[in-house]
Amino acid sequence: MVAAAYQYDQMKFKKYELPDHISSVEETVSIQPDETVTISCPDCDCVKVLNAYKYYRMNGQVTITSWCECGYAHTVRLDRRKFERKSIKAKGFCIVKSTSEKDRITVSDISKSGMKLKIGKSGSIKIGQILTVMFHLPNCGRKLFKTEVIIKNLTGIYAGTEFIPENN
């Protein structure tokens, strides 16, 4: 199905026919601390900076359609996280603090405030539980990374976690 969209261009509306891919998210961009977002056109590499103030305070996932001067339109997902995430693949294990149960994990991304874990046994952890997580960071030799996290959300075998400050 071809979607129709309108763009204001030189004081008149023009109708553009959009390809089917307009409904799929092509890119995720982070909202910066100054509440702006930088979007680049995948077709011509033109870059524009938008004010994202109204999107930053919205609940739920936010996607917008970005129009480029070249006429290309694409859908962009806005990431409102405080800290940028880095994708990694680090195998390790965790210990559930309340039960001393051990499980294998894979760290799939990490930020300054938390990480996303792939848990070995689905259903072995619950939201609110505290885990001691141990793994080797890629490209850091054999240095063991050990920290405590709290489970904030669960989606299937994936857990979103937040680091617990050491002074707690």
Where residue 72 falls among pLDDT bands split at 50, 70, 90? confident
- Taking only the tens place, the pLDDT of each residue in 12-59 is 334 444 455 443 546 777 777 788 888 888 888 888 888 888 877 776
Is pLDDT of 88 > 60? Answer: yes
Predicted local distance difference test score (pLDDT) of residue 151: 93
What mean pLDDT do residues 94-120 have?
A: 88
- Taking only the tens place, the pLDDT of each residue in 60-71 is 678 888 888 888
- Taking only the tens place, the pLDDT of each residue in 120-130 is 876 678 899 99
- Taking only the tens place, the pLDDT of each residue in 153-164 is 888 888 999 999
Please list the residues that pair with 104 across neighbouring strands: 93
Predicted local distance difference test score (pLDDT) of residue 133: 93
d(CA 100, CA 83) in angstroms, rounded, equals: 31
Task: Tell me the two tokens of residue 168.
Answer: 């707690």
Stronger pLDDT, 32 or 10, i.e. the higher one:
32
Q: Which residue has the tokens 């999107």?
A: 55
Where residue 81 falls among pLDDT bands split at 50, 70, 90? low
56: part of which helix (H) or strand (E)?
Answer: helix 53-56
| Complete domains list, the chain, with CATH | 3-79 (no CATH), 86-163 (2.40.10.220)
CA dist 38 → 9, 33, 74, 133 (Å)? 21, 12, 14, 34
